[in-house]
A and B are shown apart, each in its own frame.
Chain A
Amino acid sequence: MARSGSPVRLVVALSVAAALAVFLVYVSVAGGTPSIQPSQLKGHTGDVALVGKVIGTPAGEGHAPQGLRFRLQDVSGGASVPVVYRGSVPDLFKVGREVRVEGRLQNGVFVAKQDSLRTKCPSKYTPKKKA
């Protein structure tokens, strides 16, 4: 009745190996997005996720033809970069808030991907989701 070598161990090993293989293939193909601050933008030419603090006076609207234009600064202060964004603007967006937006640097201006603007939780403890 009982097999001499345990099938359990074999099944476990094979499953783990299979899962790992799928996982690694996916991660290496799809990859993640580097999440960087304005001061680190220089080296990157591809799509990145830019994280920073909104400063200055934002102009325009997300759905206007010119889009929403604002400046993003490093969270700890310092370098900043102008951003052009088109799409939905989350409620929490305002000056001083930490936001995350995807896109790429083009001619010194960060051109954002449509609808990729997210705001970070303002409070340390209570989680607030992004729009």
Chain B
Amino acid sequence: MPELGRAALVLCLGLALFALVGGAYAAATRRRRLARSAQNALLAAFGAAAVASGVLLAALLRNDFSFVYVAEHTSLQLPTPYTISAFWGGQEGSLLLWLLVLTGFSAAAVAFARRTGPDLLAWVVPVLGLVTTFFAFMLVAVSSPFATQVAPADGAGLNPSLQNPYMMIHPPCLYLGYVGLTIPFAFAMGALLARRTDELWIVATRRWTLFAWTALGVGQLLGSHWAYVEVGWGGYYAWDPVENAALMPWLAATAFLHSVMIQEKRGMLKIWNMLLVILAFCLALFGTFLTRSGVISSIHSFTQSPLGSWFLGFICLITVGSAALLMSRLPLLRSRTRMESLVSREATFLYNNLLLVALCLTILWGVTFPILSEAVRGEQITVSAPYYNFFLRIFGIPLLLLMGIGPLVAWRRASLRSLGRSFAWPAGIALGAGIVLLLLGAGSSPIGLVAYTFSAFVLGSIGYEFARGTRARRALAGGSWLAAFAELVARNRRRYGGYIVHASIVLLAIGIVGSSAYDKVKEQKLSPGQTMAIGHYQLRYRELVKRNGPNATEWRALLDVRRGGHSLGTLSSGKNDYRAEQQVSNEVGIRTDHLTGEDLYVITDQINKDQSINFKVLVKPLVNLIWLSGFLFFAGSLVALWPSAAEQRRLAARYRELRALARA
């Protein structure tokens, strides 16, 4: 069967190459049948990739250890769900997943766009073919999942800390995001190649971008949650290069989502949008490259794997190629429209873009600085959390404020008077919240207080927008408040879906601020029977129990938790000693207060021979808002994504009547 897998991959490579070369030739010489043929090649490539994936999946489920990949990432005792997730658990399998998703998305994009813009599609196909060729080539020649060996008795198994539901969903979710960004990129490059200056590429890919962006966001939250509960150091984001690898394209995509609206409404910023989509895609590639080559730890470990060089070469090709293409089409894209006022919604979108891109680039600088400094000075200089947190505050807090200002400002121009009226309620709410928080002691962290106040402002402005929108709708069409509200959202999905997403980001911000600016940490060594106090909690270390689990010896410290005289139950925290893998993992004890969103987080740092334990206990206020925000984020994106029949009709009509005009 591995031969079938290899053959399928070679077939996929051939089809992708045909889509690239044939498609480019067809677009350049305007050959209809060849263009169609190239499209079909892209669709067929999906079939080939699917077959290859099927072969690998079957081998995994069969525990066929003659496949090197299966032997390296699974074992006989591994539960089936994790055997499946081992598909993307290693280098080669994850590349295959990339290819599968890429060809799948390409097929879907081609199928959807066939009708509206065959000439644009003619140029999109070779671009998609190029990216597919690269990944197929990697799988065929550099990093094949179908290498075989004499089957050993059992496989190496999966790293224990990867054996949890999060690690099943987190990578595929991120891939949907990374790969999803290929589609808007391909359409943008297609538009440039076809010398088109209209918005078809944006209209065709708007939902793709939103989808990819949502997947990246949710994927990152899942990863953070895994880090919080599994790795257990008390945090959820360590500014690790692999974490930043997903954050950077997400930030670029966020900027793109906003600036694209300016192009749609005002016809401005065409060049900026091109730059952003190129940046987002290149960062997605770069992120994929970062997580699989050791380049960040040392420039020398990077050269040990050939994959890294190929990836870097491809990223350079894409960056230079798309930049050159953009420059050659620059005269076409210049628009004559000027921004009328610095106080308008366009302007706030522009400021938001600048902040997002600035944050993205500072993170990029922080990630690449070690490599650059090593190349220049022979010595790696690394930056860590303080650097990133500094810039997160500098750019993030104004961004937070802008999220509240943007919705209140009208397009084109906002007079100060109408601004003043719009701001009154939200600003009042923010001021009130600020005073209350100050009285509650939030002044211990000035930055935290500012962030909270801004958050209140944003929530106030979003609530205000919903309120006056519902009121206007009701005044127009009557009905109950609820009906008016539903009608309002249904008729303006992008706007109100966007507001819901903004609300989720504010919740995220509140959760982050609460758990970092107002948290408490305490380290103490306790013998059985002793008590420690932190915040409002008292913890009594009752006893240490040992249990022999199926593949690990489990040590658990049992602690009785009390607060304000009431017992809050027992918390267990400890370590698992995995005998086979000779590895110890931290199993933290978390007690969530569902009313306040606060977590009591107990880490068993060191178990001593006399059963005394060095504990590290954290109280993290509002941290659960972070996870809650994920659901709201997803819901808001769903609302914004939901197709609107009226809009579809209008757009279809636009392109249909034009074709009729041309043909007439």
Q: Is the CB of B338 within 8 A of A3?
A: yes
Q: Is the CB of A125 within 8 A of B292?
A: yes
Q: Is the CB of A120 within 8 A of B297?
A: yes
Give 1 or 0 for each of A48-63: 1 = CB within 8 Å of chain B CB: 0101000000000111
Q: How far is the CB of B554 from chain A (nearest CB, A)?
A: 14
Tell me whether B386 is interfacial, beta carbon within 8 Å: yes
A130 CA to B243 CA, complexed, in Å = 12
> In the complex, what residues of B have CB within 8 A of residue A42's CB?
none
Contact A49:B382 (CB < 8 A) given known A123-B159, A128-B161: yes
Tell me whether A77 is interfacial, beta carbon within 8 Å: no
> In the complex, what residues of A have CB within 8 A of residue B567's CB?
none
Q: Is the CB of A125 within 8 A of B233?
A: no
Q: Is the CB of B608 within 8 A of A15?
A: no
> In the complex, what residues of A have CB within 8 A of residue B394's CB?
22
Q: Is the CB of B338 within 8 A of A33?
A: no
> In the complex, what residues of A have CB within 8 A of residue B383's CB?
32-33
Contact A30:B379 (CB < 8 A) given known A124-B305, A127-B242: no
Contact A124:B584 (CB < 8 A) given known A32-B383, A63-B614, A129-B238: no
Closest A residue to B346 by CB, please name it: A8
Q: Is the CB of A124 within 8 A of B294?
A: yes
A120 CA to B294 CA, complexed, in Å = 11
Contact A33:B384 (CB < 8 A) given known A8-B350, A92-B583, A128-B161: yes
Tell me whether A84 is interfacial, beta carbon within 8 Å: no
Tell me whether B94 is interfacial, beta carbon within 8 Å: yes
A131's contact among B89, B159, B233, by CB below 8 Å, is which?
A: B233
Give 1 or 0 for each of B387-398: 1 = CB within 8 Å of chain A CB: 100110010000
Closest A residue to B384 by CB, please name it: A33
Q: Is the CB of A11 within 8 A of B238?
A: no
Q: Is the CB of A40 within 8 A of B297?
A: no
Contact A124:B91 (CB < 8 A) given known A1-B340, A35-B380, A62-B606: yes
A89's contact among B231, B370, B606, by CB below 8 Å, is which?
A: B606
A14 CA to B507 CA, complexed, in Å = 31
Q: Is the CB of B606 within 8 A of A125?
A: no
Tell me whether B518 is interfacial, beta carbon within 8 Å: no
Q: How far is the CB of A95 from chain B (nearest CB, A)?
A: 10
Q: Is the CB of A34 within 8 A of B94?
A: no
Closest B residue to A5 by CB, please name it: B338
Tell me whether B585 is interfacial, beta carbon within 8 Å: yes
Q: How many residues of B contact A (CB 8 A)?
A: 62
Q: Is the CB of B586 within 8 A of A91?
A: yes
A100 CA to B97 CA, complexed, in Å = 32
Q: How far is the CB of B142 from chain A (nearest CB, A)?
A: 14
Task: Kindly name the residue among B90, B238, B342, B381 whose own CB sees the greatest number of chain A CB atoms within 10 A.
Answer: B381
B585's contact among A1, A11, A62, A91, by CB below 8 Å, is which?
A: A91
A76 CA to B303 CA, complexed, in Å = 14
Q: How far is the CB of A93 from chain B (nearest CB, A)?
A: 9
Q: Is the CB of A30 within 8 A of B386?
A: yes
Q: How far is the CB of A113 from chain B (nearest CB, A)?
A: 12
Q: Is the CB of B606 within 8 A of A61?
A: yes
Q: How far is the CB of B352 from chain A (nearest CB, A)?
A: 11
Tell me whether A126 is interfacial, beta carbon within 8 Å: yes
Q: Is the CB of A62 within 8 A of B387?
A: no
Q: How many residues of A contact B (CB 8 A)?
A: 48
Contact A129:B370 (CB < 8 A) given known A2-B340, A61-B608: no
Q: Is the CB of A125 within 8 A of B605?
A: no
Closest B residue to A36 by CB, please name it: B379
Q: How far is the CB of A51 from chain B (nearest CB, A)?
A: 8
A2 CA to B336 CA, complexed, in Å = 11
A19's contact among B161, B342, B358, B369, by CB below 8 Å, is which?
A: B358
> In the complex, what residues of B have CB within 8 A of residue A130's CB?
231, 233, 238, 240
> In the complex, what residues of B have CB within 8 A of residue A36's CB?
379-380
A128 CA to B89 CA, complexed, in Å = 12
A26 CA to B340 CA, complexed, in Å = 35
Closest B residue to A93 by CB, please name it: B584
Closest A residue to B245 by CB, please name it: A127
B350's contact among A11, A19, A124, by CB below 8 Å, is which?
A: A11
Q: How far is the CB of A73 from chain B (nearest CB, A)?
A: 15
Could you tell me which residues of chain A, from 63 to 112, have a CB within 8 Å of some CB in chain B? 63, 75-76, 88-92, 94, 98
A92 CA to B160 CA, complexed, in Å = 12
> In the complex, what residues of A have CB within 8 A of residue B380's CB?
34-36
Tell me whether B525 is interfacial, beta carbon within 8 Å: yes
Q: Is the CB of B240 within 8 A of A129?
A: yes
> In the complex, what residues of B have CB within 8 A of residue A75's CB?
298, 301
Tell me whether A45 is interfacial, beta carbon within 8 Å: no
> In the complex, what residues of B have CB within 8 A of residue A123's CB?
159
> In the complex, what residues of A have CB within 8 A of residue B340's CB?
1-3
Q: How far is the CB of B38 from chain A (nearest CB, A)?
A: 33
Tell me whether A46 is interfacial, beta carbon within 8 Å: no
Closest B residue to A8 by CB, please name it: B339
Q: How far is the CB of B163 from chain A (nearest CB, A)?
A: 12
> In the complex, what residues of A have CB within 8 A of residue B407's CB?
none
> In the complex, what residues of A have CB within 8 A of residue B232's CB?
131
Q: How far is the CB of A29 from chain B (nearest CB, A)?
A: 10
Tell me whether B130 is interfacial, beta carbon within 8 Å: no
Could you tell me which residues of chain B, from 326 to 355, have a CB within 8 Å of some CB in chain A? 338-342, 347, 350-351, 354
Q: How far is the CB of B106 from chain A (nearest CB, A)?
A: 24
Closest B residue to A48 by CB, please name it: B379
A92 CA to B294 CA, complexed, in Å = 18
Q: Is the CB of A94 within 8 A of B582?
A: yes
A40's contact among B341, B369, B379, by CB below 8 Å, is which?
A: B379
Q: How far is the CB of A114 from chain B (nearest CB, A)?
A: 10
Tell me whether A28 is interfacial, beta carbon within 8 Å: no
A-B contact pairs, 6 of them (CB 8 A): A12-B354, A30-B386, A30-B390, A32-B373, A32-B383, A126-B89
| 9 A-B pairs with the lowest CB-CB distances in the bound complex, closest first | A127-B242, A35-B380, A32-B381, A63-B614, A32-B383, A2-B338, A131-B233, A35-B382, A8-B339
Interface residue ranges, B against A (CB under 8 Å): 89-91, 94, 159, 161-162, 227, 231-233, 238, 240, 242-243, 291-292, 294, 297-298, 300-301, 305, 338-342, 347, 350-351, 354, 358, 362, 365, 369-370, 373, 379-384, 386-387, 390-391, 394, 525, 575, 582-586, 603, 605-606, 608, 614, 616
